[in-house]
Structure formats: structure tokens, C-alpha cells
Amino acid sequence: MFATLARFAGAQVPDDRPIDSIDQSAFILGQTEKSAREGFPIMVADRLTAVKWRNWKMHFYRQDTMIDPPVRNPVPMVYNLLIDPREEKAGNYLENAWVMYPVSKIMHDFQVSLKQYPPIPMSTPDPYLPPRTSN
């Protein structure tokens, strides 16, 4: 959302650090039919909980309420968001296992990005200065 909101506000996205954001203003304004991003990882705390790809979402953990502990699913739960936007009934994993291929690519790319740009550790004092990267 950062790059999109910056565009709407007339601001520039900083170029002195990695920013995981894509400007979606053309998509939101109906100037293009396709989103600039096909999918994305969904993190909760320090866990990769799910991945959304196109109209599919694959959950690796289950947590019914915010106070419930997260439980790893023995088999990922797959939802087709076009027919089940509330994610109330997971589809048959065996019938939808093919979704794992594009989801795996998103997961791999995300893991590579974490190695290249490690997350800022909790309790890091402000102002934070990112380590210099050699390009």
C-alpha cells in the first residue's frame, strides 16, 4: 500500500532503502485491468501463515481467533476466493494441489528477499540505519 498511497498523496517513495511495495494506483483507478502483483506472502508475527496468489489463498497455519495459539495445518488449506471470499470452507487439497506451484514461487522469492534484506529486529532503537549493501 505504501507506494500506492504515496502516489495518491503526491509523495516520492524513498530510493535509499528497499521498499516492498508496488504502486497499484492505475489498477485502483481502473486504468488497467490487471494488478501489478499476482500474489503475496501473509506474515503473522514471525510466521509465514498463508500465501495469496490470484484468486487462491493457501493457509499453512490455523488460528480461529486472535487469542487462540496458531496451529500448523498438517496439509495446507486452500481457498478459492472467487467462490468462498470469507474463507469458510477449504477446498479439497488433492484437487487444488496444483496451486502449490505458484505459491511455492512466491514463498521462494520471499525467502530470497529476506536473505538480501533482513527484517529489522524487534527493539531496534530509532533512528534505524540499514546496513550498507554492496551492489
Give the pLDDT score at 50. 96
Distance of alpha carbon 21 from alpha carbon 131, whole angstroms: 20
In this prediction, residue 135 carries a pLDDT of: 57
Q: Can you give the residue range of the structural domain that contains 3?
A: 1-36
What is the structure's pLDDT at 90? Answer: 87
Whether 105 is covered by a domain: the verdict is: yes
pLDDT value at residue 133: 63
Same structural domain, 44 and 103: yes
**Do the domain assignments include residue 130?**
no
pTM for the model: 0.79
Same domain for 106 and 63, yes or no, is: yes
Same-domain status, 113 and 50: yes
Q: Would you say residue 45 lies in a domain? A: yes
Quote the pLDDT of residue 82.
Answer: 94
For the sheet containing 71-80, what is the strand order?
A: 39-44, 47-53, 56-62, 71-80
Q: Are β-strands 47-53 and 71-80 bridged in parallel, bridged antiparallel, or unpaired?
A: unpaired
Count of the separate structural domains present in the chain: 2
The per-residue pLDDT for 93 is 82
H-helix or E-strand spanning residue 81: none
124 falls within a domain: no
Amino acid at 13: V
Q: pLDDT 10s digit of each residue in the chain, 135 long?
A: 999 999 999 999 988 777 888 999 999 999 999 999 999 999 988 899 999 999 999 999 998 888 999 999 999 999 999 999 999 998 888 888 899 999 999 999 999 988 888 888 888 888 887 766 665
Q: Do 62 and 96 belong together in one domain?
A: yes
* Within-domain flag for 127: no
* 55 lies in the same domain as 110: yes
Residue 72 in any domain: the answer is: yes
- Same domain, yes or no: 88 and 104: yes
> Is 65 in the same domain as 102?
yes
| Assigned domain for 74 exists | yes
Is 67 strand, coil or helix? coil
Q: Quick one: how far is CA 133 from the chain centroid?
A: 24
